[in-house]
Amino acid sequence: MKFEESKILQQLPKQFFANLVKKVNAKAAAGADVINLGQGNPDQPTPEFVVKAMQTATANPADHKYSLFRGLPRFKQAAADFYEREYGVKLDPETEIAVLGGSKIGLVELPFALLNPGDTMILPDPGYPDYLSGITLAQVKLALLRLTAANHFLPDYQQVDPQVAAAAKLLYLNYPNNPTGAVATSQFFQDTVDFANEHQIGIVHDFAYGAIGFDGQRPVSFLQTPGAKDVGIEMYTLSKSFNMAGWRVGFAAGNADMIEALNLIQDHLFVSVFPAIQDAAIAALNSDQQTVHELVGLYERRRNQFFTAARKIGWEPYPSGGSFYAWMPVPKGYTSEAFADLLLDKAAVAPGNGFGAGGEGYVRVGLLIDEPRFTEACQRIAKLHLFDR
């Protein structure tokens, strides 16, 4: 017998990151020394104290059973305590926290937890490609909100089509931003709350890089904004802050109705997250955050090293203020894809158009290799004489 994928699965966008990895691996398999600047996978190990907490938890027979469907109360309490301690935001752990097997799950499942087929939601352009998966699975309409360097890669709500604003039910945001490294301000988030109230649009803030801010500036949480919990939620993951990308654990926080929708759909899809992983996450959230501060310092040094090396060859970066990415313009005469393919023998980068049409003209560089390799990558690229002044 032959089984075909459903029409919905056939409509899913191509997995951008999988295709990028395939290209890089093919070059490496052919013997090329590829400096991989295209990845978004943290390269540092999970802190030892988190690993030890996990090891202890896996030996506990209580953690071998099914988790509670909506997660361990102690994990939700740790998440609420973390937000109050780090951001001054008070959350009810039972009604305003949803446990997630990584924030991607929440971001993809939320549209079909809250919207009906044919409803409209707004996504940033450029933006994280996997947001599009939720659009297809929920069979909802997509409206794009263009982000530009001229506006610091923040949406300009004055430019939103009034018909789109009237129809939209959800808006996704992501700061510090993937792929641009742009950061949000308190005033921008206040404008967002005002826009949401005016048009009755739910806000979903993807705070995946929430711990990673540079130049002495700490990223702002959307939930710190007065009225934020009335209009939306924030997705937090331990993947980046604690180098726990493979562990798959995070949470959503904020509006109780949106949290309940997430919990309800997960009641039918999952039995929460392996309890031992939740116990390890508790250790991370309850820690003094020293390992996080050290990690941010590492990324800032790498950013500075890469920016210095790039500027020496005439390649001027967008001044990223957070995340672990650099957003780099392509030289005249090249598309993002053509430039990335040209560089592949020298260094792998992620073409900006993979993040949406608004990313055309840029490539994304991940700050996820040792510092000397950034200089070497730029020296290799310099030999192409693409940025000669």
> pLDDT for 75-113, tens place per residue?
999 999 999 999 999 999 999 999 999 999 999 999 999
Q: Position 307: which residue type?
A: F
Is 242 in contact with 250 (CB distance < 8 Å)?
no
H or E segment to which residue 170 belongs = strand 168-174
**Residues of the chain under the 70 pLDDT cut:** 15, 389
For residue 290, count CB atoms less than 10 angstroms from its CB and return exposed for 0-12, middle for 13-18, buried for 19 or more. exposed
Q: Count Cβ atoms below 10 Å from residue 1 Cβ, excluding itself.
A: 2
pLDDT at residue number 389: 56
Q: What pTM was estimated for this model as a whole?
A: 0.95
pLDDT at residue number 19: 74
pLDDT at residue number 21: 78
- Kindly give, in sequence order, each residue whose CB lies less than 8 Å from that of residue 360, ignoring residues fewer than 6 positions away: 335, 336, 352, 353
d(CA 130, CA 124): 12
pLDDT at residue number 363: 97
| DSSP-based three-state secondary structure for 177 | coil
Is 201 in contact with 165 (CB distance < 8 Å)?
yes
Note the pLDDT tens digit of each residue in 294-335. 999 999 999 999 999 999 999 999 999 999 999 999 999 999
Instruction: Give the DSSP letter string of 54-76.
Output: HHHHHT-GGGGSPPPTT--HHHH
Closest listed residue to residue 217, CA positions, set 294, 288, 322, 318: 322
